[in-house]
Amino acid sequence: MLRTHTCGELRLEDLDKKVILSGWVQRVRNKGGLAWVDLRDRYGVTQLIFEEGAVAPELLKTATTLGREYVVQAEGVVIERASKNDKIPTGSIEIRVSELKVLNKAKVPPFIIEDETDGGEELRMKYRYLDLRRNVVREKLQLRHRMMQETRKYMDGQDFMEVETPVLIKSTPEGARDFVVPSRVHGGEFYALPQSPQTFKQLLMVSGFDRYFQIVKCFRDEDLRADRQPEFTQIDCEMSFVDQEDILEIFEGLVRHLFTKVKGMELGNIDRMTYEDAMRLYGNDKPDIRFGMPFVELNDLAQGKGFSIFDSAELILGINAGGAANYTRKQLDALTNWVRRPQIGAKGMVYVKCNEDGTFKSSVDKFYSQEDLKAWADKAGAKKGDLILLLSGSEKDTRKQMSELRLKMGDDLGLRDKSVYKPLWVLDFPLLEWDEETARYHAMHHPFTSPKKEDMELLDKDPGKVRANAYDLVINGVEIGGGSIRIHDKETQQMMFRHLGFTEEEAQSQFGFLMEAFEFGAPPHGGIAFGFDRLCAIFGGTDSIRDYIAFPKNNAGRDVMINSPSSISDEQLIELSLDIKEREKE
Ligand code: ASP
């Protein structure tokens, strides 16, 4: 080996040892006659010292001419430092170097490779391999590694088998567009990349594998949003002979295990909430329950008093921002402007300050008496010193807007502490979701999700009301996993496809293999998948999943390092039977 120790390893106990270290030059400090070089590798930084008199003059010269990021090998003796650095674990020692070899030179890096860098996002992505040398970046991937290992340990311990499923498949309906891969051998035909291994894991249950998991790449060609990657990783799981409760328990176990082993934190109880309550109380199917501030409906108290905006509203919602009665006029105006932004879309906002002297001050004092406002405050659970904020309009929009306002108030009042973790199961999702654009129902989760038995009779009468055996795990307002108990008989599956507007032939050609498998003894089964990148981000306490991916795509879905996507040669196009040029001519 080109080293005896790593750059993070040596301590006072190692004094006088003869060692060889290899790594990258982080910094050279030249004091004339005395030079220090900080040598860095994945494990840490160790200081090398070159002192006139103690080392050969050529050696001192070589040391002082080393460039940043040169790869060097240094041989020497561990000595005690005169002035210690208690910020790094190796800070009590340094190496008096007797031999120094440059293993490779380096160009001046395009940005400073330290925790605080001068490199912008785009530049760091172009040179991601250099960005990854920075501790703060590498540590995120180390966290990911830990999460992966601990996931495998837990799953293996629970008798789950990790099985790889194919990447060249055909369409799976997870609600996004597929990435497709043209087949050369079968000109004019295409593979699709899996949006998830959904159908395969169900087939594995038919095979009797009983407990499956896989840490797996999934691909979805969705419109790009800030925190989305076209390829991402799931912890994908499926189990046989279980009901919903079993799945919730096993995977609470996984989440607990990860918190204990990776974060050294004991998770308390994981709360549960129905989808209906989540929407009613928080206007959101992934509520952040680190703080309360639930919605109260104020139609009965606020209508019929001559305020036409409220009188004509389908829904009037209030939230109680505890302790915020001291908001200034300016702050309230800013909030009003904030809810009026097109992204939120509210027409306006009404406030009620619950003053310390027991009086109320609102933006609608003209229409409402002190008693009226007190009744609102009582319903909202507001006390002296609190601030009630109200929005109104159509039911759907108002819930959505209030959800955003609630989260903003949570932020403004410091109630969304990143070091606090509040997981929540959201249960009983609707089976179907009406899509205005296509004017038909879509599966809210996916078409293999089983309806609740007791709601089956509603399927024909009122499909939108049917609930599914589907569940999501939410942590701090972020959906990190979702799954369902599946349909496992052909008839129900066929009926489901019918409800989703598939013709018999379409269902057969796309999912005939699954329905046929259901005829060969399919066990009752269900599963879940976790968004692994997001789970890592939550554990790391940051918002961006990109930080937890070694080589991520940028916001435009582009890998700027390897420059992909990119065009391919005419020969390749012809080989793949892709007539792009011909079509352009047309
Ligand atoms: N395949 C689903 C998804 O990717 C998860 C599941 O139902 O297990 O969301």
CB 55 within 8 A of CB 36: no
Q: Measured between alpha carbons, how far is 477 from 288 in angstroms, rounded to an integer?
A: 4
User: What is the 86 CA–ligand 1 centroid distance (Å)?
Assistant: 48
Q: Measured between alpha carbons, how far is 78 from 126 in angstroms, rounded to an integer?
A: 38
Q: Measured between alpha carbons, how far is 276 from 417 in angstroms, rounded to an integer?
A: 26
- Residue 454, classified by CB atoms within 10 Å of its CB into exposed (0-12), middle (13-18) or buried (19+), is exposed
Cβ of 529 less than 6 Å from ligand 1: yes
Q: Measured between alpha carbons, how far is 263 from 259 in angstroms, rounded to an integer?
A: 5
Which DSSP symbol is given to 63? Answer: H
Here the tokens at position 190 are: 């295409």
User: What is the 482 CA–ligand 1 centroid distance (Å)?
Assistant: 6
What are 207's strand-pairing partners? none
CB 52 within 8 A of CB 33: yes
**Who contacts 219 (Cβ-Cβ below 8 Å, separation ≥6)?**
178, 179, 193, 194, 195, 230, 231
What is the SS3 assignment for 166? coil
Cβ of 528 less than 6 Å from ligand 1: yes
Q: How many CA atoms lie within 13 A of 320 on its CB side?
A: 21
Matching residue, tokens 């699709």? 192
**Who contacts 504 (Cβ-Cβ below 8 Å, separation ≥6)?**
494, 498
Here the tokens at position 252 are: 């609470």
CB 469 within 8 A of CB 454: no
Helix-strand-coil split of the chain, %, nearest 5: 35, 25, 40
CB 226 within 8 A of CB 250: no
Residue ranges of E strands in 394-444: 423-427, 432-435, 440-443
User: What is the 502 CA–ligand 1 centroid distance (Å)?
Assistant: 20
Here the tokens at position 307 are: 């305020």
- Phi, psi dihedral angles at 251 (to 5 degrees): -85, -20
What is the SS3 assignment for 214? strand
Stretch (H or E) spanning 271: strand 271-274
Q: Measured between alpha carbons, how far is 147 from 539 in angstroms, rounded to an integer?
A: 9
Q: What is the pLDDT of residue 347?
A: 95
Stretch (H or E) spanning 379: helix 370-380
Cβ of 194 less than 6 Å from ligand 1: no
Task: Using the atom order of ligand 1, give the atom closest to the CA of residue 172.
Answer: 1
User: What is the 547 CA–ligand 1 centroid distance (Å)?
Assistant: 24
Cβ of 287 less than 6 Å from ligand 1: no
Query: What residue owns the CA closest to ligand 1's atom 3?
Result: 529
Q: What global pTM score does this model have?
A: 0.94
Cβ of 483 less than 6 Å from ligand 1: yes
Name the nearest CA neighbour of 532 among 240, 248, 141. 141
Burial annotation 315-326 (CB, 10 A radius, 16+ → b, else e): bbbbbbbbebbe
Tens of pLDDT, residue by residue, the chain (586 residues): 999 999 999 999 999 999 999 999 999 999 989 999 999 999 999 999 999 998 999 999 999 999 999 999 999 999 999 999 999 999 999 999 999 999 999 999 999 999 999 999 999 999 999 999 999 999 999 999 999 999 999 999 999 999 999 999 987 667 789 999 999 999 999 999 999 999 999 999 999 999 999 999 999 998 877 788 999 999 999 999 999 999 999 999 999 999 999 999 999 889 999 999 999 999 999 999 999 999 999 999 999 999 999 999 999 999 999 999 999 999 999 999 999 999 999 999 999 999 999 999 999 999 999 999 999 999 999 999 999 999 999 999 999 999 999 999 999 999 999 999 999 999 999 999 998 888 889 999 999 999 999 999 999 899 999 999 999 999 999 999 999 999 999 999 999 999 999 999 999 999 999 999 999 999 999 999 999 999 999 999 988 999 999 999 998 999 999 999 999 999 999 999 997 665 565 5
Cβ of 320 less than 6 Å from ligand 1: no
User: What is the 68 CA–ligand 1 centroid distance (Å)?
Assistant: 47
Here the tokens at position 460 are: 């024909």
Matching residue, tokens 């609600």? 175
- Residue 373, classified by CB atoms within 10 Å of its CB into exposed (0-12), middle (13-18) or buried (19+), is buried
- Residue 196, classified by CB atoms within 10 Å of its CB into exposed (0-12), middle (13-18) or buried (19+), is buried
Q: Measured between alpha carbons, how far is 444 from 434 in angstroms, rounded to an integer?
A: 9
Q: Measured between alpha carbons, how far is 586 from 584 in angstroms, rounded to an integer?
A: 5
